Amino acid sequence: MIESAVEFSTSWPTVQGLKIHTLSSDNRPATSTIVMVHGLGVSARYMLPTARLLASRYRVLLPDLPGFGRSGLPSRALDISELATYLLDWLVTQGISNAVFLGNSLGCQVIVDLAARRPDVVQAAILVGPTIDPQAPSVLAQLARGARDLLHEPWSLLPILLADYLITGTGRMLRTLRFAIDDPLVQKLPRVEAPTLIVRGQHDTIVPQRWIEQIVRLLPHGRWEVIAGATHAANYSAPEQLRDLVIDFVRDEAECPAPP
């Protein structure tokens, strides 16, 4: 498939007194809107390889969550539900009442929280490398898994991660990670009514296969896929394969839902 070039514009809507850096595809196709939600400590820019591929077919938006990337800094680190509330309020500034959400890592937890509280907003969800595996419920365990994953990630991703981590700062990252570990994700999953696709990279050391299968068992309408050769950040390491999974999933589940 040959993708046409789509430009992304930058805006800074104000949400709860903070400027939220937002990248938006300039096209407005008459199909689904996809909102992409980044992971811990990073900005949305490492999601651009997949976003650019999807933007020829969908309207794609990528906000930096408050405290990350180029968005404003709240006075303290925010927990998962607080980040989801910012995301919900940001949707209002974009005139979006319903969308498909694609998240990576901690971004998946934010989407699950939003979907559990506001099922009317989440048309469908694609969770790429969803955290946090309950069998690694400590900061040290998660950091160790993350360090092993970096050995498999493309080398070109590392400068992006380093720059974003420096902006976020160690303190905010660790406090947010602690909130992610404490997040009752397992209790929220059965309340997610939207069709949900779980995606795992074959070489993802943060998210084991056992965990994504557990997630799918807890979801009312879930299924999983593994991308061969991909990493935790499959949105960066395997954008073409992820693009294909998203297109098939959105077509089958979001744009042509089954009758009640």
Mean pLDDT over each residue of the chain, to the nearest integer: 94
Over residues 114-118, mean pLDDT: 98
- Band (pLDDT 50/70/90 cuts) for residue 258 is very low
Paired tokens of 164: 């974003």
pLDDT for 260: 42
pLDDT for 1: 41
By mean pLDDT, which of 87-91, 126-130, 147-151 is the weakest? 147-151
By mean pLDDT, which of 112-116, 153-157, 159-163, 252-256 is the weakest? 252-256
Radius of gyration of the chain (CA): 17
pLDDT for 4: 53
pLDDT for 92: 97
C-alpha 42: how far from chain center: 11
pLDDT for 30: 66
Residue 28, judged by CB atoms within 10 A of its CB (0-12, 13-18, 19+), counts as: exposed
Paired tokens of 143: 């950091």
- Band (pLDDT 50/70/90 cuts) for residue 113 is very high
pTM score of the predicted model: 0.94
> For the segment 14-58, what is each residue's pLDDT rounded down to a tens digit?
999 999 999 999 777 767 899 999 999 999 999 999 999 999 899
